[in-house]
Amino acid sequence: MSSASMSDIPSKDERFEFTTFFEGHTTAWGVFEDRFGHLRRRFQVEMVGAWRDQTFYLDEDFVYDTGETEHRTWRVKAGQDGAFSATCADCVGEARGLCASDSIRMAYRFRLKLNTRTLLVDFDDRVYPMGGGHAVNRAIMRKWGVKLGELSLFFQRHDGQSAAAAE
């Protein structure tokens, strides 16, 4: 594991690209807190991202503190000027994203499975590069505009650095 370096954080003139950061094998761990700040879930994620034709696929395998598992595959299409769109089975319509120099932002409606029911919720996801192949994701989940909770997720690329820094 390499030490974090601020030198591989994108400069103001370059984008922090979703597909560049997530290409290859990434591990993540995180928590979900409800709107009152109470810890509700802990989880780990193994991710593998790869290009196939003109589509970037990000496979995610979740393991929750309850022992429950979940698999999700995002299909990401690059747009212009840092924009992208993404879909997965649980996403309603398309997620819309934008890569900037200091973050990646993605907004989408999602089918969230809770026990025996499914809620439609809105996510506002932001991923921030931290250097050394690390990134932090903060996401706010809302229903009817009311905040339900916050997700904090911490990413580490297996090679210890972002793909852009490895070039």
Contacts of 68 (CB under 8 A, 6+ apart): none
pLDDT over 70 percentage in the chain:
87
How far is the CA of 1 from the CAs of 20, 25, 73, 156, 159, in angstroms? 20, 14, 27, 10, 8
Reported pTM: 0.84
DSSP 3-state percent helix, strand, coil across the chain (nearest 5) = 5, 65, 30
Q: Above 50 in pLDDT, residue 161?
A: no
CA distance 20 to 12: 17
Quote the pLDDT of residue 10.
55
Domain spanning 12-153, CATH class? mainly beta
Helix or strand holding residue 164 (H, E):
helix 163-166
- Structural domain boundaries of the chain? 12-153
**Nearest Cα to Cα of residue 26 among 151, 137, 149, 150:** 137
